[in-house]
A and B are shown apart, each in its own frame.
Chain A
Amino acid sequence: MIQLIVGTAAVLGALIIMAVFWKVGTSSMPRDDDYKHVAEAGYAIRRKYFWALLAVSLVLFIIGVLAFPYPKVMEAKIKGEPFVVKINSKQFQWDLSAAQIPLGPVRFDVTSQDVNHGFGIYDEKGGLVTQSQAMPDYVNKLYVNFTKPGKYKIWCLEYCGVAHHIMATEFEVK
């Protein structure tokens, strides 16, 4: 869902930027020799643009940080004890401490035995739900609140060698 919203914004934003460049690029004629005058008009627009950019950035910044499944944020958000699943990984397979997971809050303790991997959870439709890195010597705590039962897939989201693209497995939420 979030991907579709941001993706749409990405495309619309690109179109707006192109339109502005098109407008300015096609307004090069006729030459106005009073550059000072042109520049002052431009700088007046720039001031407005600066404040608009600041406002939009601040809003997106805050939404982004809060939407981010960082342990500190998620511990504040998630009520009750999460169900814990230990995830171990190695070239090129996933090892889960449970393949059946209850609905509700879950904490994945993700790590790796060899190189860096990426723990990406995909839903039945092939959409990315959430992810974290899997790094040797470290444990990534990834909180997820499952609200939809069904089969989920794990795909590797950090390049880990020749079979990276087939490093996948499944689990079920019910």
Chain B
Amino acid sequence: MDISYERRVAGISMVIGAITIVLFGVTIFIGIIARTSQGGFITLRPDVFYEFMTLHSVGVAGSLMTGITAMMWYSLRKHLNLHMNLMQIMFGIIGAVVVSLLAATLLGFYGTGWTFLYPLPFKSAGAWDDWAAGLYLLLLLCVVAAMTISWGDVVVVASKKYGFSGAVGWKLIAGIDTPQTTPPPVVLISTITSLCGILSNIAGATVLILLLIHWADPGFYLDYLYIKNLIYYFGHILMNMAMYMAVAIVYELMPIYAKRPWKSNKIVAISWNAAFIAVSLAYMHHLLQDFPQPFIIQVIAVFGSYMAAFPATVVTVVGAMVLVYRSGIKWTVAPLYMFIGLMSWTIGGFWAVLDAGFNNAFHNTMFVPGHFHLYLLAGTSFIFVATLYNITEELGGCKDAFEDRLGLWAWFIGAYGVALTFLLSGVFGAPRRYAVQMPGKEMWSAFGALFGWIVIFALILVIGRYITRLQKVKPLRS
């Protein structure tokens, strides 16, 4: 592949990485303020708390998603010639999204949480303005458009190179393994993941457009249960996509450090096709406490959630372990972030499966933020940061310093503390999304907030070091 193309993609990813990690840090900070208020150290007015919760979750998830998408392009650069102008369009849209998110929450007091369960956006009991609800739905529609552009490009370009059935691994499953039809794992996983994301985006666009019509014409009738299914199909998969893109990156980068190959084969292809099915079924576990949902769907929901554990751990995690075992790998921060990232994904996923299996005991308790903060804050983000480290190593020849290790371990301790305090308070019954905790359950939030501040310390180190390392990178246009 064309060297100047590779360098340009690396350069763009590096810059997007810098922007998104700063946004990521700022929106995490807002989450910490919210946690500090739940812990009773400060007092946010409830409407402000919920506004912060919304800004935090959409901002953090959005910036991580954007960052990880850029990192995916970076890891695909040796295999696929993606369209750079489409990338730029995508980031243009995301920029508009950031501005409107700030407007909707800070000026319009919008605060439904990221899930926007119908009809809450339109029934705020006076807390937020109608225009803010419309703007929020519109900005999510823009997110859908931006993600569809970038995922669509991956599917199209990969299918052109390997054929569609080659790119998604069906050829491998059928026993056909040729250099023309067998993509490297990063391409295989990115393509399957992108396809899954596009399907969920179709659901997302449908529901957002329906809600926007309702917003314009409140007489327009919508079925609550149907809309809820669509919202969770969209939201659940979108959140999982970030992690799957991150895992695709690990398949590409880990071999560089372990100095061993990680190739596509029949098992890898089967496992990622199974992951596609599992994640598409598992969304239904968000509706396990909606008893009008048909019983068989409820059983499938639990089944799909258990199923998700198989491809993830049996193939990917074990594969990564085999790759590093007796490989002589040097645990510099980049591979260490990746390895711990996989560990957090495993633990967070295990907790998610428990939540689905025993949902009546945990639904909408703090157990839920417990599980997803672990795999987002110590899983996906770790792989994101690992890629940033890899870029500056590749382009600037940077070496690790003491601060890099300090940042890693501080983040590790902070993230596990944040997640575990959420989780345990859920075990003791604390509901999620309470501006003020139920009496007797404040202690967990207080500890959670303290761990959150450790994450802030780590983020300052990581961002500071990234910017320092960037300066070593030679000018992009050489």
Contact = CB atoms under 8 A, between A and B. Distances in A.
- Chain B associates with chain A: yes
A122 B428 CA distance: 11
Contact of B125 (A14, A72, A91, A157): A91
Interface in A57-80: 57, 60-61, 63-65, 67-72
A17 B350 contact: yes
Given A158-B117, A158-B364, 7 more contacts: A4-B427, A7-B423, A67-B360, A157-B365, A159-B433, A161-B50, A162-B127
Closest 4 CB pairs of A and B: A31-B328, A7-B427, A42-B322, A64-B357
Interface stretch (B131-139, B161-169, B195-203, B303-311): B303-311
B450 interface: no
B228 A116 contact: yes
Contact of B354 (A6, A17, A91, A161): A6
Interface stretch (B17-25, B290-298, B393-401): B290-298
A164 B434 contact: yes
A6 B243 CA distance: 25
A92 B47 CA distance: 14
A95 interface: no
B242 to A, nearest CB: 21
Interface stretch (B152-160, B313-321, B384-392): B313-321
Given A28-B326, A122-B429, A138-B292, A157 B363 contact: yes
B260 interface: yes
Interface stretch (B95-103, B210-218, B339-347, B463-471): B339-347
B361 A3 contact: yes
Interface string A138-174: 1111100000000000011111111111100000000
B364 A140 contact: no
B92 interface: no
Interface string A101-143: 0000000000000111010101000111011110111111110
Interface in A34-68: 35, 38-39, 42-43, 45-46, 49-50, 53-54, 57, 60-61, 63-65, 67-68
A91 B123 contact: yes
Given A64-B358, A164-B433, A70 B427 contact: no
Given A114-B119, A118-B364, A127-B429, A60 B314 contact: no
Interface of A: 2-4, 6-7, 9-11, 13-14, 17-18, 20-21, 24-25, 27-32, 35, 38-39, 42-43, 45-46, 49-50, 53-54, 57, 60-61, 63-65, 67-72, 91-92, 114-116, 118, 120, 122, 126-128, 130-133, 135-142, 155-166
A136 B343 CA distance: 41
Nearest to B121: A115
B123 A157 contact: no
B454 interface: no
A38 to B, nearest CB: 6
Contact of B288 (A21, A60, A68, A116): A68
Interface in B96-131: 111-113, 115, 117, 119-120, 123-125, 127
B424 interface: yes
Given A17-B350, A127-B429, A30 B326 contact: yes
Nearest to A13: B350
Contacts of B290: 132-133, 135, 138, 140
Report the interface size class on chain B. Answer: 35 or more
B441 interface: yes
Interface in B319-357: 321-322, 324-329, 331, 339-340, 342-343, 346-347, 350-351, 353-354, 356-357
Given A155-B438, A161-B120, A32 B428 contact: no
Contacts of B353: 57
B32 interface: no
Contacts of A128: 361, 365, 429
B328 A28 contact: yes
B461 interface: no
A114 B123 contact: yes
A112 to B, nearest CB: 9
A67 B288 CA distance: 13
B460 interface: no
A157 B339 contact: no
B122 to A, nearest CB: 9
Contacts of B325: 24, 27-28, 38, 42
Contacts of A135: 224-225, 228, 290, 292
B440 A71 contact: no
Given A6-B358, A65-B302, A132-B291, A163 B125 contact: yes
Contacts of B259: 31
Contact of B326 (A27, A133, A157): A27
Nearest to B124: A161
Contacts of B440: 126
A123 to B, nearest CB: 9
Given A161-B120, A161-B127, A131 B351 contact: no
Contacts of B343: 17-18, 21
20 contacts: A6-B362, A28-B325, A29-B328, A46-B318, A54-B310, A115-B119, A115-B123, A116-B117, A116-B224, A126-B429, A127-B428, A127-B429, A135-B292, A137-B223, A138-B292, A157-B363, A159-B120, A159-B432, A164-B435, A165-B431
A79 B329 CA distance: 62
Contacts of B47: 162
Contacts of A27: 325-326
B173 interface: no
Given A18-B343, A31-B327, A158-B117, A141 B291 contact: yes
Interface in B32-79: 46-47, 50
B299 interface: yes
Contact of A31 (B224, B326, B363, B365): B326
